[in-house]
Structure 1
């Protein structure tokens, strides 16, 4: 095993890295004889004929070809991991959940995944699946999703994610993205871990265009990190579980699947530190749209309307003049699934939305600040204020999110959520 704790910067750049000097072929991706007898394998995240600026693929040079495995058979673990479309009817109701309880028995990251809802269809490669996880045991196997890329948002407990292309150490306030089809293993740095996952069935996440913002701002490409090549030369059985068209399948190898000695390309796992986000905000008046907090976007076939946007609400200055500063009351064509990593969210200071919890506001249904947050905002002295010690995020999608039966019947569901807007007095007009 080689060192797995180093990273290379860049988002979507072509990266070349080798764990053994001389392992990367020079001049040909698939020469007749690969150095050291390694096997050349191409991992394609887009169609071969995708435009050059959108084409994502990586060449892997490994100890054994991935094709060398027995047949997959159904896997019956992870009982609450599902995929869209769901058979539950869509609901217009606003929903909120307490954090997931810790499992009663040792549970690894895969079996600890619980699906709250999703949009679109894995078969049509549109939409997203939204999962939460609570894990108390290390994985001693590998997992991959053939249905979509996985964006992992730790909330409590750091993760060590061993992938075919290297290791990602990911702590709360960082995120990781594992491309579709890439095998990985999750071990827990602190004995247990909890967080959120967005499984993106659609176009791969990318940085949003900046438009009038200009060349700088939001998430900077150089702050995204990919791992250096790392491999595991281990000849003992390893189970590989894959998610395929919503079902789970498993096979057993007689060796470690993490045997990529070198690789080059622009499709790789990556991590990003959310505290490096360069927040853009107003310095005059009016609360800007939350799109200015977009970290990553998965575009749809409608320009400007995302299959999924990943938005954060980080520490920042609020300086607007004569303006209501928390998110105002609103109804959107987009649906919003929110989670809280740390601190308090400035539109829900009345309690109930806590780190590890979640909420869902489906399209065109009114929501906004609770009464306590509203009264504090309209009565505050509008001097510059620093919002600190917080990190909330949102998965925003053009489609209605259908919740799973587990999510609608879970004891973590807050049945009194509507009451946070129940105490607003009627406005008084002059006679």
Structure 2
């Protein structure tokens, strides 16, 4: 994963440790020998003159299995990074509740890819919120964003106090230089940046576009497999967290903070990415979506899309997620007398979909890589007329759905459209027409009219 830019920084190594999100496993990593204390978390005088600091991602009294914290040994404590703040403007990054900034009627919606910017735009300035759900103040719900960028964050840094960020690249690799190490993520991979983690973003290919799920609620974790058992879906060994890396740089830097939906900035005289060693279980991580092992029906029936859940952020109601992150990867379609694409349905979840590459089997026209769709709670959706016709007449034999990767941010909350999303020129005004050619086939006979 190393690049020339990465090699220029001694010790910059990405993604070395297996990480199991939400299950309390512990890691330790150091850049200088002996910089990580053994046997005690906060020694009176840490080696190398470092400061001991704890970053907590859960309440102190959370059960052991869900308690998340890491000890950081850094050149300066974070109180030296959080100086006097002033307001900062990122007008296209919205938080829930966000209501009343457009007049677009209710409906099923779809967009073509968001255009790349023509002016210099870094990762945080390129964030465009499409939907918001829940309440950032009540720490429930989420927001769906798309990002476009063509410029590195050099001396600007960011952390989000409102929630964790799941980043899904679609065009161009992105390098997350964080206070706990460096993670490089390409299209086909995802990265999760925990709440409160300071980072900056470098572009590996000059330009980048992708999707972001901002999770206000409980942290993403692996879903229970239930009767599936011990194997398949996402396996813990395929999640990776970085080794320690630090930057000892005495130049003017800025830190931008998102806090309760508003943005603030402070100026400091050094890099905040100065963690020399750390240990704990609260850390950024990445996952290669190609390592997901799907399961499905091998006789008849079409399984629910929940069978493709990679990560889930639980709510207080058992079995009802604050967010499910679901993918539709390459897989064999084997079933007998079964309609194979997703059926027509209405449900209580609200679905924001994106396509990383390839073709989505239920929408063969109009849903393109980089595009998005929104099907809100109880609004009917399903295959377009072409997809229905093809699936209804297909030979029932094993078929591999290949060269595709779609995903869904699904939440129990309604996803409210932002004014930006409602006003995009890429919004497909004719999307609902994809179902206009569905014919009435009822004619009073058991065979129906399939002419």
TM-score category of the 2 structures, normalised to the smaller one: over 0.9
- Is the Cα–Cα contact under 8 Å of residues 5 and 169 in structure 1 kept in the other structure? no
Scaled by the length of structure 2, the TM-score of the pair is 0.94
Q: Which runs of 5+ in 1 are unaligned?
A: none
* Cα distance in structure 2, aligned partners of 1:412 and 1:79: 20
- CA displacement 1:9-65 (0-9 Å, x = unmatched): 121420000011100111111111111110011000011011111111101000001
* Cα distance in structure 2, aligned partners of 1:5 and 1:175: 18
Q: Which secondary structure does the structure 2 equivalent of 1:407 belong to?
A: helix
- CA displacement 1:139-179 (0-9 Å, x = unmatched): 12111111000000000000111001000010000000000
Deviation (angstroms), 1:70: 2.0
Corresponding residue for residue 12 of structure 2: 4
- 1:352 pairs with 2:360: no
* Cα distance in structure 1, aligned partners of 2:225 and 2:300: 21
Question: 1:33 is matched with which residue: 45, 62, 65?
Answer: 45
Q: Which secondary structure does the structure 1 equivalent of 2:135 belong to?
A: coil
Structural RMSD (CA): 1.1
- Is the Cα–Cα contact under 8 Å of residues 92 and 365 in structure 1 kept in the other structure? no
- 1:206 pairs with 2:221: yes
- 1:45 pairs with 2:50: no
Corresponding residue for residue 321 of structure 2: 306
* Cα distance in structure 1, aligned partners of 2:105 and 2:143: 16
Deviation (angstroms), 1:91: 5.9
Deviation (angstroms), 1:298: 0.2
Scaled by the length of structure 1, the TM-score of the pair is 0.98
- CA displacement 1:89-136 (0-9 Å, x = unmatched): 896411111111111201001100000011111110000011100101
* Cα distance in structure 2, aligned partners of 1:355 and 1:329: 23
Corresponding residue for residue 133 of structure 2: 119
Question: 1:135 is matched with which residue: 118, 140, 149?
Answer: 149
* Cα distance in structure 1, aligned partners of 2:136 and 2:79: 23
* Cα distance in structure 2, aligned partners of 1:224 and 1:135: 26
- Is the Cα–Cα contact under 8 Å of residues 116 and 149 in structure 2 kept in the other structure? yes
* Cα distance in structure 2, aligned partners of 1:429 and 1:4: 68
Deviation (angstroms), 1:411: 0.9
- Is the Cα–Cα contact under 8 Å of residues 255 and 266 in structure 2 kept in the other structure? yes
Question: 1:146 is matched with which residue: 147, 158, 161?
Answer: 161
- 1:63 pairs with 2:97: no
* Cα distance in structure 2, aligned partners of 1:318 and 1:70: 56
Q: Equivalences for 1:258-277 in 2 at 5 Å?
A: 258-277=273-292
Q: Which secondary structure does the structure 2 equivalent of 1:119 belong to?
A: strand
* Cα distance in structure 2, aligned partners of 1:299 and 1:2: 39
Question: 1:231 is matched with which residue: 242, 246, 265?
Answer: 246
Question: 1:105 is matched with which residue: 119, 143, 151?
Answer: 119
Corresponding residue for residue 176 of structure 2: 161
- CA displacement 1:65-102 (0-9 Å, x = unmatched): 110142111112x3201101012389641111111111
Corresponding residue for residue 340 of structure 2: 325
- CA displacement 1:253-282 (0-9 Å, x = unmatched): 111111000000000000000000011111
Q: Which runs of 5+ in 2 are unaligned?
A: 1-8, 446-451
- 1:218 pairs with 2:233: yes
Q: Which secondary structure does the structure 2 equivalent of 1:111 belong to?
A: coil
